[in-house]
């Protein structure tokens, strides 16, 4: 192999093993910041040595052993080795050659719980949502600070500060590096799922910037979600979230027009939907429902997405079922946003007037003030009712609130269509007698 070939192989190994190594080191040093530092030291050592010695048979074990050695060196230099020795749990294997069989066994023993523990730490509810997203993308996704900043459309300095503060918060709280049990596990798992879905949604419908979608974020959320499924195979809501993300991701190619403009769901070419992702999503939905017939919030949303996925044409969509599923979702997680989505489904099932009645009840909802989709949905229903002047005003209001440039352009185009329809209606209106 050439040096370039070796470096590419090292990068591939690092991509696969990075989170596992950080997780294993974090369990023993009890500090995710130090664990990441030692893992990176191991990566640098591999870049120096592997081009000369070749890639070890167990590269992950080699990196873990090297990271552990870096940890010992660090604590020895700090004259803390005696106090830390028991915590690190180092035995004779750390003095063996890199990649020895005992190290391999030790690595395999705990890696599942280690990785799950790292996921729970990165998504700890004591951190802000923004901090959890940044830390998860850094520790588990392996994205650089610059990549996270570009993905989240904030400055690199802001992301760096979020990550540093998150690590400090975890360290200061002396947070146990362990997989939570019992009732705490359910609460912490909910935080993990929330983070993954936040990452996915930011990629699926960007809240700001020029691009309508950012697939890298969706792919990262899916990758992490699939890892989580493997670690928690009996958790129905984990399968439910994966089902939801797989089905949503199946629409990527159809969501963007030739010029990068958004294409709304009912206008999409369903022949461009990825059938493999749909099949995977439907299978995950089936597993979630088999584990618990009482669907949780993510499983309900996946069931809604499945209704769209199963419809060969937009006209085949079972909107009555979708409205009922949104009603069930609203009972579990009462939310004005869920009610807004239910209103849209009701309008498709029972007519725009029925939907508009529900939307108008949300007009004074404090949490929806400044939320561009409220006037956007209202504008759509008003347009269908032929109330073009009101619809145009609603679309303009929505455009003024939208942070995504692509979405803002789409809303302004719809406002212009309202004006055109109003002008056409005026031209067609018969003249009054005597005028």
pLDDT tens column, 368-418: 998 999 999 999 999 999 999 999 999 999 999 987 788 898 999 999 999
Question: What contacts 24+ positions apart, CB below 8 Å, involve 154-159?
Answer: 159/134
Q: What is the pLDDT of residues 248-266, one digit of tens each?
A: 999 988 988 887 778 889 8
CA distance 36 to 26: 8
Residue 367: pLDDT over 80:
yes
- The answer to whether 28 touches 89, Cβ cutoff 8 Å, is yes
CA distance 255 to 213: 8
First to last CA, the chain: 89
Packing angle of the helix pair 81-88, 3-29 (nearest 10 deg): 100
| Structure tokens, 369 | 């003030």
Domain positions in the chain are 1-122, 318-351, 366-427
Q: What share of the chain is helix, strand, coil (3-state, %, to 5)?
A: 75, 0, 25
Mean pLDDT of the chain, nearest integer: 85
Compute the average pLDDT of residues 295-316: 96
pLDDT-derived band of residue 304, with 50, 70 and 90 as boundaries?
A: very high
> Has this prediction a pTM greater than 0.85?
no
Compute the average pLDDT of residues 193-209: 77
């Amino acid at each position: 192999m050439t040096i370039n070939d070796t470096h590419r192989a090292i990068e591939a190994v690092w991509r696969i093993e990075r989170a596992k190594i950080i997780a294993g080191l974090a369990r023993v040093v009890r500090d995710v910041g130090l664990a990441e530092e030692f893992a990176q030291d191991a990566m640098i050592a591999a870049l120096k040595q592997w081009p000369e010695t070749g890639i070890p048979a167990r590269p992950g074990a080699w990196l873990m052993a090297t990271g552990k050695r870096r940890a010992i060196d660090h604590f020895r230099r700090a004259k803390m080795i005696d106090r830390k020795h028991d915590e690190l749990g180092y035995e004779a294997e750390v003095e063996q050659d890199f990649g020895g069989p005992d190290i391999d066994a030790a690595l395999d023993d705990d890696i599942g719980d280690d990785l799950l523990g790292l996921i729970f730490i990165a998504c700890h509810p004591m951190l802000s949502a923004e901090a959890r997203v940044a830390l998860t993308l850094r520790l588990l996704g392996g994205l650089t600070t610059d990549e996270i900043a570009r993905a989240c459309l904030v400055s690199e300095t802001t992301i760096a500060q979020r990550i540093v503060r998150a690590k400090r918060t975890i360290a200061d709280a002396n947070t146990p590096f362990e997989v939570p049990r019992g009732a705490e596990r359910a609460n912490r798992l909910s935080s993990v799922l929330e983070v993954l879905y936040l990452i996915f949604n930011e990629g699926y419908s960007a809240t700001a910037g020029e691009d309508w979608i950012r697939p890298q974020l969706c792919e990262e959320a899916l990758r992490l979600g699939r890892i989580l499924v493997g670690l928690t195979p009996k958790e129905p809501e984990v399968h439910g979230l994966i089902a939801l993300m797989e089905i949503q991701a199946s629409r990527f190619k159809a969501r963007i027009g030739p010029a990068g403009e958004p294409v709304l769901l009912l206008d999409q070419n369903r022949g461009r939907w990825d059938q493999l992702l749909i099949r995977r999503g439907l299978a995950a939905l089936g597993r979630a429902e088999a584990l618990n017939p009482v669907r949780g919030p993510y499983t309900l949303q996946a069931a809604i997405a499945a209704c769209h996925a199963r419809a060969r044409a937009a006209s085949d969509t079972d909107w009555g079922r979708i409205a009922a599923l949104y009603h069930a979702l609203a009972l579990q997680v009462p939310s004005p946003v869920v009610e807004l989505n239910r209103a849209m489904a009701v309008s498709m099932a029972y007519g725009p007037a029925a939907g508009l009645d529900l939307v108008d009840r949300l007009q004074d909802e404090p949490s929806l003030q400044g939320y561009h989709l409220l006037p956007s949905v209202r504008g759509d229903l008003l347009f269908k009712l032929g109330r073009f002047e009101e619809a145009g005003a609603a679309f303009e209001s929505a455009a003024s609130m939208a942070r995504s440039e692509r979405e803002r352009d789409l809303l302004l185009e719809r406002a212009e269509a309202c004006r055109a329809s109003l002008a056409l209606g005026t031209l067609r209106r018969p003249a009054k007698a005597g005028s």
